[in-house]
Structure 1
Amino acid sequence: MTDPTPLTSLSSALADVVARAAPSVVSVHSHRARSTGFVWKSGLIITADEALADEGEVRIGLPDGSTVAATVAGRDHTTDIALLRADTSIAPVRLTRTVPALGALSVVVATTRDAPSAALGMVSVSGQGWRSLRGGEIDARIELDVRLRSSQEGGLALEASGEAFGMAVLGPRRVLVIPTATIERVAAQLETRGRIARGYLGLGLQPLRLDDGIGAMVMNVDKAGPAAAAGIRQGDVIVAVNDQKLSGVRALLRTLGPASVGRVVDVAVRRGGEPTSFRVTIGERPEA
């Protein structure tokens, strides 16, 4: 028998990595959509929120070919994480908080047509945390040079050692990984509360260009909201928060993440052209 070559050794190692992860990976069927998920805790499955239909029943395709009903325990569109509950005895996957190095090999273990599938690629970006276009805090910027089908979205991203470092999702023109730190932070809140707390001022704002910068005109005020309680009125123009000049309405709204709830901020406004300020305790956004 000939000695194994480096390529055959690599092939065998990758096949073993996939075989160990595949039993914890499931397919997710929602209205006119199929994606992938993985067992995070007993009876709890993580999948990509963007790949999950907004309504209709959800079923989970198990590795043995059977399916079970699932319910949505919670979802957060800002981080693309959804949590499902299903009656399964599948062992949870072990996630690592390690962020892979640039250039490291990565395997995405997912499902295609309800069967296990795998894709091999490389970590093309490995960097610091970032904020999604929807305002979600993502703990590390990880991109993979790999091609995935839509049904593979929500699959496990593994290092060559077999450790799972996050969930693969389809971003604009690239495959992104939602890292373990983000998954564990968000999923824990979804498990206990069913939603993610977001900051709330209780204001409807309109961008306004000023001679010395950008402001946000208050178009309407929630009478029961934090800003109204502090004294802010319709027609006021917000120009700064905590002595930081406003760079835009969207930038202001992006600061109202989970960590902002309960924080007291100094809001500088112009009322009838005259400067004044208010101390506002940021509330929690009510459910729609």
Structure 2
Amino acid sequence: MSDFNLSAFSDAIADIAAAAAPATASFATHQHRTATAFHWRDGYFVAAEEAVEAGEEIELTLSSGDKVKAELVGRDPSTGTALLKPTGAPDVPPLTKAGTVRPGHLAIAVGNSDGASLAAFGTVGE
């Protein structure tokens, strides 16, 4: 019989997701869906490029529930990323850099939906 403790493993995964959650924000897309943005650094948030339209009004809902206006300041269709700059300086920690990953490693995807944390668990595919 293995000494593996599934409950402790699950708690560790939940703790990792909870630690990352404050660095997330959500916003309504032009398609009336909710998308997640991540505080990258220096007050900038990164989101999926397809979720943001040029000239649209963006309001980020932080994990605290606070709302801040943001503007699209850059996009890169080749990587699928958009760079958002909130007005003011929200007190949000940036994500920490992950270590090296390879196919088969365990991964946790963390998101935000109207201030509520979301998490999914899986493996790195490539």
TM-score by length of structure 1 reads 0.39
Superposition pairs of residues 68-217 of structure 1, within 5 angstroms: 68-86=68-86, 87=88, 88-96=90-98, 98=100, 100-124=101-125, 126=126
User: 3-state SS of the aligned residue for 1:118?
Assistant: strand
CA distance in structure 1 between the aligned counterparts of 2:74 and 2:33, rounded to whole angstroms: 18
User: 1:64 — aligned with what?
Assistant: 64
Q: Which amino acid aligns with 1:109?
A: V
CA distance in structure 1 between the aligned counterparts of 2:29 and 2:124, rounded to whole angstroms: 30
CA distance in structure 2 between the aligned counterparts of 1:24 and 1:45, rounded to whole angstroms: 9
User: 1:205 — aligned with what?
Assistant: none
1:44 to 2:49 alignment = no
Query: Taking CA–CA contacts closer than 8 Å with sequence separation of 6 or more, which of the two structures ends up with the larger relative contact order?
Result: 2
CA distance in structure 1 between the aligned counterparts of 2:65 and 2:114, rounded to whole angstroms: 11
User: 3-state SS of the aligned residue for 1:36?
Assistant: strand
Where does the alignment leave 5 or more consecutive residues of structure 2 unmatched?
none
CA distance in structure 2 between the aligned counterparts of 1:119 and 1:112, rounded to whole angstroms: 13
Deviation at 1:97, TM superposition (A): 5.8
Q: Which amino acid aligns with 1:80?
A: G
1:12 to 2:14 alignment = no
Q: Which amino acid aligns with 1:104?
A: H
CA distance in structure 2 between the aligned counterparts of 1:83 and 1:28, rounded to whole angstroms: 13
Q: Tell me if the contact between 1:45 and 1:83 (Cα under 8 Å) persists in the aligned partners.
A: yes
Identity in percent? 33
Deviation per CA, 1:265-287, whole angstroms, max 9, x where unpaired?
Answer: xxxxxxxxxxxxxxxxxxxxxxx
CA distance in structure 2 between the aligned counterparts of 1:97 and 1:10, rounded to whole angstroms: 19
Q: Which amino acid aligns with 1:103?
A: G
User: 3-state SS of the aligned residue for 2:91?
Assistant: coil
Aligned CA RMSD, in angstroms, stands at 1.8
User: 3-state SS of the aligned residue for 1:96?
Assistant: coil
Q: Tell me if the contact between 2:26 and 2:34 (Cα under 8 Å) persists in the aligned partners.
A: yes
User: 3-state SS of the aligned residue for 1:21?
Assistant: helix
CA distance in structure 2 between the aligned counterparts of 1:13 and 1:25, rounded to whole angstroms: 19
Q: Tell me if the contact between 1:33 and 1:52 (Cα under 8 Å) persists in the aligned partners.
A: no
Larger Rg: 1
Where does the alignment leave 5 or more consecutive residues of structure 1 unmatched?
127-288
CA distance in structure 2 between the aligned counterparts of 1:119 and 1:22, rounded to whole angstroms: 12
CA distance in structure 1 between the aligned counterparts of 2:102 and 2:34, rounded to whole angstroms: 31
CA distance in structure 1 between the aligned counterparts of 2:95 and 2:69, rounded to whole angstroms: 20
TM-score by length of structure 2 reads 0.86
